Amino acid sequence: MARRPVTVFSCSACGAQAPRWIGRCTECGGWNTLVEEAAAPPSRARGAATPGAKPVPLSGVDAADAPRVSTGHPEVDRVLGGGLVAGSVVLLGGEPGIGKSTLLLQVAARMSATADPVLYVSAEESARQIRMRADRLGVASSRVFLLPETSLEKILEAASGARFSAVVIDSIQTISSAEGLSGAGTVSQVRECAARLAVFAKGGDVPVILVGHVTKDGSLAGPKTLEHLVDAVLSFEGERFHAHRVIRALKNRFGPVHELGVFEMTGSGLVEVKNPSSLYLGSRTAGRPGSAVLAAVEGTRPLLVEVQALTVESKYGTPRRTAIGFDSTRLALLLAVLERHGKLALSGHDVFLNLAGGAESEEPAADLAVVAAVAGSYRGRALPPESALFGEVGLLGEVRAVTDGPLRLREAVSLGFRRVILPAGNAAEASAFPDLEAIPVRSVEELLARTGG
């Protein structure tokens, strides 16, 4: 009989396993992501089943909404769909230093003020370090219990020892189980620990929040395996261009996805931003001729980007065209369209285009914002206030529909924008957003007519 292999190779990005080392993961295509781990013994109990659960008839299941506890932060509650569900497991992912520990310490303090105490397990920082942060945040509460510990077994023991309204694990990658066969942070340990914490959460009806670090390409270590285990995946992201942070649900079994919570990192922690569009529109450039806010989508992630254009009369025979963050060939093409179909005499002007804050866009949906910014600068006219744009522009001056319309619209609404200028072909998608005034355009001529004659 063939002996079971003693080690397997697991992809540190997606958790896929291979019997021998290969340079590229066959599942996710990641290069050099496979690491050797001890093979798990067969048929180990896994998953989030409640011990000793009995089948119940579907009709006998209580359909009332799962009880929720407020995190004390309305923005976080909204992203979760109305608070933390008892017995649920939430994964909070984000780059190191983005503010995950800060946010959760603030959540722990506010939550415990009106409910049972919160257990904050810190496997990365000492109790003293956390106390110093809490002092800075002004949340040194006696109802937040700290446990600087990396052993899963000890954590579970402490968590079962008293009634807590939530348990925070900071972070899942730094704890390990004595039963695990490999070191902390490996895919199998992360999965094992998360699975056992999920069992604990379900069994005790206590919500568990796991912090997960993301790798530099933006994925959680062992993400695919963890995403299936947890009830909600929240992503904590920094807007590269502003001091604010955005928290969004990527998966949520108990609520909507794509809800946004917006925070600003200040000297005394994260502060909720009630009217986030002010972060864009409050800047001195927004609302001035030559500025247009693009509702972009980067991969699956919506993103608002300010496009700035400047046109000045050329001093030399050949006008200069400079684009930063945007393809210069595409800019030349759009300028030709504006010259021909928009009747703007741009051939005598230098044109400079910049996506503010070092953003880049390669998607055709950026065309309309670029055209609007250039035309705005040339004509000295600002776009309607609080408006965002997206749409592709064709060589005949037509404005073409683009993909991910609802994603772009939802982002604009969430960030407080009131108007959106979009292709007529996407206009139907805007009817789902009654708070948003949709300005559909079919052509560049129509765009120019509707944005100031």
Could you list the residues that contact ligand TYD (CB under 6 A)?
Answer: 94, 96-102, 133, 136-137, 265, 267-269
Question: H/E element holding 250?
Answer: strand 244-252
Minimum distance, C-beta of residue 124 to ligand TYD, in the bound complex (Å): 8
Q: Which stretch binds Mg ion (CB under 5 A): 1-9, 39-47, 95-103, 395-403?
A: 95-103
- Residue 297 near residue 363 (C-beta atoms within 8 A): yes
Q: Identify what 324 binds: Mg ion, ligand TYD, none; CB under 5 to 8 Å per kind.
A: none
Residue closest to Mg ion (Cβ): 101
Measured from the CB atom, the residue of 268 and 322 that comes closer to ligand TYD is 268
CA-based torsion, 51, 168, 262, 66: positive or negative: positive
Per-residue three-class SS string for 212-240:
EEECCCCCECCHHHHHHHCCEEEEEEECC
Minimum distance, C-beta of residue 174 to Mg ion, in the bound complex (Å): 10
Pairing of strands 437-441, 387-389: unpaired
Minimum distance, C-beta of residue 374 to ligand TYD, in the bound complex (Å): 37
Measured from the CB atom, the residue of 223 and 269 that comes closer to ligand TYD is 269
- Residue 78 near residue 259 (C-beta atoms within 8 A): yes
Q: Which stretch binds Mg ion (CB under 5 A): 99-107, 282-290, 399-407, 417-425?
A: 99-107
Pick one of 12, 33, 88, 101: the residue that binds Mg ion (CB under 5 A).
101
CA 81/CA 104 separation, integer angstroms: 17
Minimum distance, C-beta of residue 100 to Mg ion, in the bound complex (Å): 5
DSSP-based three-state secondary structure for 306? strand
Measured from the CB atom, the residue of 41 and 97 that comes closer to ligand TYD is 97
Measured from the CB atom, the residue of 123 and 373 that comes closer to ligand TYD is 123
Minimum distance, C-beta of residue 268 to ligand TYD, in the bound complex (Å): 5
CA dihedral in degrees (394, 399, 400, 405; nearest 10)?
Answer: 140
Measured from the CB atom, the residue of 101 and 235 that comes closer to Mg ion is 101
Give 163: exposed, middle or buried? Use CB within 10 Å, 0-12, 13-18, 19+.
exposed
Minimum distance, C-beta of residue 94 to ligand TYD, in the bound complex (Å): 5
CA 284/CA 114 separation, integer angstroms: 41
Question: H/E element holding 169?
Answer: strand 166-170
Q: Identify what 268 binds: ligand TYD, Mg ion, none; CB under 5 to 8 Å per kind.
A: ligand TYD
* Site residues, Mg ion (CB under 5 A): 101
